[in-house]
Structure 1
Amino acid sequence: MLRALDIRDMLIIDRLELAFQPGLNVLTGETGAGKSILLDSLGFVLGWKGRAGQVRAGADSGEVVAEFDLPPAHPAHALLAEAGIPAEDGVVLRRTLSTEGRRTAYVNDRRASAELLRALSETLVELHGQHDDRGLLNPRGHRALLDSFAGVQDALAATRAAWSAQSAARRRLEAAEAALAEARAEEEFLRHAVEELDRVAPEPGEDAALDTRRRLLQGAERTGEDIARAGTALSAQGAEGAMLDALRWLEGAAETLEGRLDPALDALQRALAELGEAQAEVARCADALEVDPQELERVTERLFALRGLARKHNVLADALAGLADDLRARLAALDRSGAEIDTLRGDLAQAEADHAQAAEALGAARRAAATRLDTAMAAELAPLKLDRAVFTTDVAPAPPGPEGADAVQFLITTVAGQPPGPIDRIASGGELSRFLLALKVCLSGGGGATLIFDEIDRGVGGATADAVGRRLARLARGGQVLVVTHSPQVAAAGTHHWRVEKHERAGRTLSRVVPLGTDARIDEIARMLAGDTITDAARAAARALLAG
């Protein structure tokens, strides 16, 4: 609900503070008094497009502040939370305009963009009039309006969920098909690579072991020759023979020297024993170095094969075994992919069937609601002097989407035998206003927004104007409606009444808004009935209108 509107230095308003109330608020006044300025100023603070040069002549800048009550479940709370702006039970919008055209906006004293103002305005205010292209005349919103009237929130949620599941199934299938196409393109390479790797059968750590063995084998011939020469030097033809001769000679001499050679003989015996151990170790080493003459060739070929594969696949030799496992897994996935894609195609077909079923149920509910809406509109149009008009809610097939497979448009015809067409193209100005009022009455769901009707009663009077006023009052029950009107019947239906008037001050023409008490209200409605000269008969007629 719009709680307060504060306007400073806008057009012919220098300072204006209005405190609006729940129910039907009517604004009346002579043509040119400034009623449209109030709506222009409200539209400015809500981020709507406005007229140029709105700053009052002589002022440096203009400012409009609008304060709204926000019930706990009001949709504006989500927008404020997303923008990081705190809000409890209300929101204050403030927007300034300099003479150079700079616009600055604030929401609850936080700087805000015009986009946020416009998004908030969609939840705070509904403007209805002859140029109502933001609301009921916009065909893009007709389906949502019909859904609200039909109460199909559960069916709509089910359809959106089914569409989301269908979209996810399609994405999975497309990803699998793309992966399969990519795999098919390299299938020949994969099979050749796996065959080559399997033929070599690399093992982790094999490269280092082969390298060590190859170096050992490469040095084996030279090392073997040295060991053989050492073995000969230690044998009976070398050191061992010389030491045995020495032992034999010393033993012969020791018989005549009475034990003086015993230490030498003992040492020589020990040396011969050590020499025997050395001979055994050298022999064992020589045996170990005895290799197959072709082993070096085999080891070298194996090592070069591993390293060639590593270079080919741009990996380390020790990673070849893991690469082989990975390529085999990709081949296995390729072999399985046909069956997986068949499964995914089945999943998508089921998801499409589920969405089609949900969309059909939603469409049936919409078509039933369309019939009810058309009936309700027929009942509303007759009292509004549109009894020959026919309102039709057209529900036509549309490409499937998250909100079903229906296109909805409100159509009318005002001449018998003529095909129906869009409201804004068929109805005249006065008819259009009454169509919009009837449609709003039928679609009213108490969404929490303040409803504003700008001269929606233009071109009607008498019983028709009374019917307009009664419907506006009905819309205002439990909510808030602001109506700018020239009709005394509509003004009499209001629960709160303001008069917009001009006055002169210091040679300047300014606009002001005056709240009317009971007596002043009688006079204002009498003026609307009789003109500038208010008669007793006009006052009596005004009292009769106010009495209902």
Structure 2
Amino acid sequence: MLRLLNIENIAVVHRQRVAFDAGLTIVTGETGAGKSLVVDALALAVGGRATADIIRAGESRAVVEALFDCPAHPAVARILSEADIEAGDELLIRREVAASGKGRLFINDQLCSVATVRALRPYLVDIHGQGDQQTLMFPSAHAGVLDAFGQHVALSDATATAFSAWQTARRDLDQLKRDEASRLQRLDMLNFQRADIERVAPQAGEDEDLRRERMRLSNAERLLALAAGSYDLLYEREASALDLVAQALRRVEDLAADDPALADTVATLEAARYGIEEAAFALRDYADALVVSPERLREVEARLDALDQLKRKYGGTLAQVLATFDQIQHELANIENYDADVRRLTAAVEAAAQAYQRSALALRSARQAAARRFEAALEQELHALALPQARLVVAFDERHVDAPETWEASGLEAVEFLFTSNPGEPPRPLSKVASGGELARMMLGVKSILAPTDIPRTMVFDEVDVGISGRVAEAVGVRLRRLAERQQVLCITHQAQVARFATTHLRVEKSIVDGRTRAEITLLDARERVEELARIIGGAVVTDSARRAARDLLASEGAVGAPTT
């Protein structure tokens, strides 16, 4: 419920602080006084469009603050949690609009986004102006009204979700089939690439091994000569390195026998002798293994050429070639599963279609059951709103359940309200025959018969009584008061017959202060209400007869706040 509204520098409002109570709050004032600024400011606070031209001339910014009781609803708690805003008993929304066009928005003094406030709006306020009445002119909105009345909005949402799932599955299948030609082209190319690599059959690290072998084959004669010569110097010839070290070792051993200090030198020479011997045998084995083979060299060169060609085609290294081969194998497996994918997606389309049909048929039954009750309830309201001959018919243009080309997210039928207020005339599309006054009363009637919401929102009606007067306005006032018994209602009106039902009455009037126009919002007491109703009844000049008429209105059955004298 709305508790407080602070308005600063919006249009002709300088600074205003307006408190609200439960029940029916009526706002009146002369034409052009700025009555709708209350609604505009509230709409701005809950995420309405903000532009710099709303700022009072000469000011740098406009500010509106709205204080609400915080609704105890899981969705509200989730929205606040996602915005890192701590939930409490109250929600204070503050919106600032700068002359530069930039603005800021706060909830409980914490900066937040407009999207967060707009997500909260359905749980805080329900604003209806003349534009909202015009939505009844669009048949596409009628199904939503019927669903709200029948309390099967969840079923309607489920049907829309099922329709979306069916469309997605169908698009996936169509895309797969459209890709058939490119799939076959891709399959041919991948098979060629796989065969190209398999023909060479590269092994990991093979090119490095081959390059080393090529080096040995290319230099085999020189390597053999070097290895054999080295072996000869170390081991084979007379006075070889091994012989010389052995001779030195025997002499040092003789020295060490007399002088133990040379024991380490003996050990060093023994190690050198063994090392020379091992090196000589290694060189001998290396020389024995060397092959001088032009034929093998040609084979190695050809193999390296084949591997280099693969690397140029499929990657700069042999490791990348092998990785490409694995990728080709994987993609081929996927492409070759085309038939299985078609079967899988076809089954998914069928399952999604059946789910949509079940949900849409259940929605059709729910709508048909609700339609007759809706017709009777709304006709009763319209009769009470001075349309005694009004007749409403909920028409269904049903689509065939087995004709998918006709399916819609809204269900298997188009819903349209047919209306007549003239005896003997058949009901025709509401958009073609209803007047502005009839639309206003129909909107109020719809709001009166909809199931009470589990969220105590503030309902706002901006001139819902446009185009009506007299006993029709009286009936509108009765309906507004009835709504106000269930939740807080704020209504802007020009009708004394509506204003008399207020539990709280606000008047908006313009004045000139320091040469500038200001709109002032005043809470009226009982005597001031008489004067305001008399002004509405009598016009610019308030007469005693107008005051008597105002007192009679306030004193009549059903009025609230009648004066005691």
TM-score range, shorter chain: 0.7 to 0.9
Contact 2:163 2:409 in 1 (8 A): yes
Further displaced range: 440-449 or 28-37:
28-37
* Separation in structure 1 between the aligned mates of residue 122 and residue 190 of structure 2, nearest angstrom: 59
Equivalent residue for 1:216? 216
Q: How does 1:393-404 map to 2 (within 5 A)?
A: 393-396=394-397, 400=407, 404=411
* Partner SS, residue 430 of structure 1: helix
Q: Which amino acid aligns with 2:503?
A: T
Displacement of 1:338 in angstroms is: 2.4
Displacement of 1:118 in angstroms is: 6.0
Note closer, same or farther for the CA distance 1:74–1:481 as it changes in structure 2 (3 Å cut).
farther
Q: How does 1:357-436 map to 2 (within 5 A)?
A: 357-396=358-397, 400=407, 404-415=411-422, 416-417=424-425, 420-423=428-431, 426-436=433-443
Equivalent residue for 2:299? 298
Partner deviation per Cα, 1:344-403 (whole Å, 9 max, x = no partner): 222223223322332332233234333332222112111112233333445546864655
Equivalent residue for 1:539? 551
* Separation in structure 2 between the aligned mates of residue 102 and residue 333 of structure 1, nearest angstrom: 54
Q: How does 1:59-98 map to 2 (within 5 A)?
A: 63-73=63-73, 86-95=86-95
Note closer, same or farther for the CA distance 1:222–1:443 as it changes in structure 2 (3 Å cut).
same
* Partner SS, residue 336 of structure 2: helix
Note closer, same or farther for the CA distance 1:197–1:127 as it changes in structure 2 (3 Å cut).
closer
Equivalent residue for 1:331? 332
Displacement of 1:192 in angstroms is: 2.9
Residue 482 in structure 1 maps to residue 490 in structure 2: yes
* Separation in structure 2 between the aligned mates of residue 342 and residue 456 of structure 1, nearest angstrom: 57
Equivalent residue for 1:351? 352
How high is the TM-score relative to the length of structure 2? 0.72
Equivalent residue for 1:249? none
* Separation in structure 2 between the aligned mates of residue 284 and residue 524 of structure 1, nearest angstrom: 122
Contact 1:12 1:510 in 2 (8 A): yes
Alpha-carbon RMSD: 4.7
Q: Which amino acid aligns with 2:146?
A: L
Contact 1:166 1:348 in 2 (8 A): yes
Partner deviation per Cα, 1:483-505 (whole Å, 9 max, x = no partner): 23344443333333344456777
Displacement of 1:281 in angstroms is: 10
Equivalent residue for 2:261? none
Note closer, same or farther for the CA distance 1:375–1:319 as it changes in structure 2 (3 Å cut).
same
* Partner SS, residue 184 of structure 2: helix
Note closer, same or farther for the CA distance 1:306–1:106 as it changes in structure 2 (3 Å cut).
closer
Displacement of 1:50 in angstroms is: 9.2
Equivalent residue for 1:184? 184
Equivalent residue for 2:207? 207
Contact 2:553 2:559 in 1 (8 A): no
Note closer, same or farther for the CA distance 1:309–1:165 as it changes in structure 2 (3 Å cut).
same
Equivalent residue for 2:446? 439
Contact 2:163 2:408 in 1 (8 A): yes
Q: Which amino acid aligns with 1:335?
A: E
* Partner SS, residue 187 of structure 1: helix
Displacement of 1:438 in angstroms is: 0.8
* Separation in structure 1 between the aligned mates of residue 41 and residue 304 of structure 2, nearest angstrom: 87
Displacement of 1:64 in angstroms is: 3.8
Contact 2:501 2:559 in 1 (8 A): no
Partner deviation per Cα, 1:133-177 (whole Å, 9 max, x = no partner): 686566665444333222224424543553454355446546755
* Separation in structure 2 between the aligned mates of residue 55 and residue 325 of structure 1, nearest angstrom: 66
Note closer, same or farther for the CA distance 1:525–1:137 as it changes in structure 2 (3 Å cut).
same
Contact 1:366 1:395 in 2 (8 A): no
- Number of equivalent positions: 508
Partner deviation per Cα, 1:507-527 (whole Å, 9 max, x = no partner): 877654443445655665577
Q: Which amino acid aligns with 2:126?
A: E
Partner deviation per Cα, 1:28-76 (whole Å, 9 max, x = no partner): 4555655344444444555656999766678776644332222121866
* Separation in structure 2 between the aligned mates of residue 433 and residue 373 of structure 1, nearest angstrom: 18
Note closer, same or farther for the CA distance 1:97–1:351 as it changes in structure 2 (3 Å cut).
closer
Further displaced range: 452-461 or 477-486:
452-461
Note closer, same or farther for the CA distance 1:84–1:205 as it changes in structure 2 (3 Å cut).
same
Equivalent residue for 1:254? none
How high is the TM-score relative to the length of structure 1? 0.74
Contact 1:206 1:318 in 2 (8 A): no
Equivalent residue for 1:107? 106
Residue 195 in structure 1 maps to residue 176 in structure 2: no
Further displaced range: 81-90 or 282-291:
282-291
Q: Which has the larger radius of gyration?
A: 1
Q: How does 1:100-249 map to 2 (within 5 A)?
A: 104-108=103-107, 109=109, 121=121, 123-132=123-132, 141-163=141-163, 165-166=165-166, 169-170=169-170, 173=173, 181-220=181-220
* Separation in structure 2 between the aligned mates of residue 281 and residue 39 of structure 1, nearest angstrom: 101
Note closer, same or farther for the CA distance 1:314–1:536 as it changes in structure 2 (3 Å cut).
closer
Q: Which amino acid aligns with 1:533?
A: D
Partner deviation per Cα, 1:284-322 (whole Å, 9 max, x = no partner): 877655677643333333333233333332342355455
Contact 2:125 2:460 in 1 (8 A): yes
Q: Which amino acid aligns with 1:543?
A: A
Contact 1:526 1:541 in 2 (8 A): no
Displacement of 1:230 in angstroms is: 11
Contact 1:22 1:478 in 2 (8 A): no
2:503 to 478, 489, 495: 495
* Partner SS, residue 374 of structure 1: helix
Further displaced range: 429-438 or 537-546:
537-546
Displacement of 1:3 in angstroms is: 1.1
Equivalent residue for 1:313? 314
* Partner SS, residue 391 of structure 1: strand
* Separation in structure 1 between the aligned mates of residue 527 and residue 91 of structure 2, nearest angstrom: 35
Partner deviation per Cα, 1:108-131 (whole Å, 9 max, x = no partner): 345667776666555533333434
* Partner SS, residue 556 of structure 2: helix
Contact 1:444 1:475 in 2 (8 A): no
Displacement of 1:480 in angstroms is: 0.6
Note closer, same or farther for the CA distance 1:330–1:122 as it changes in structure 2 (3 Å cut).
closer
Identity of aligned residues (%): 35
Contact 1:363 1:405 in 2 (8 A): yes
* Partner SS, residue 438 of structure 1: helix
Q: Which amino acid aligns with 2:346?
A: R
Contact 2:393 2:427 in 1 (8 A): no
Displacement of 1:543 in angstroms is: 1.5
Q: Structure 2 unaligned runs (5+)?
A: 239-279, 400-405, 561-565
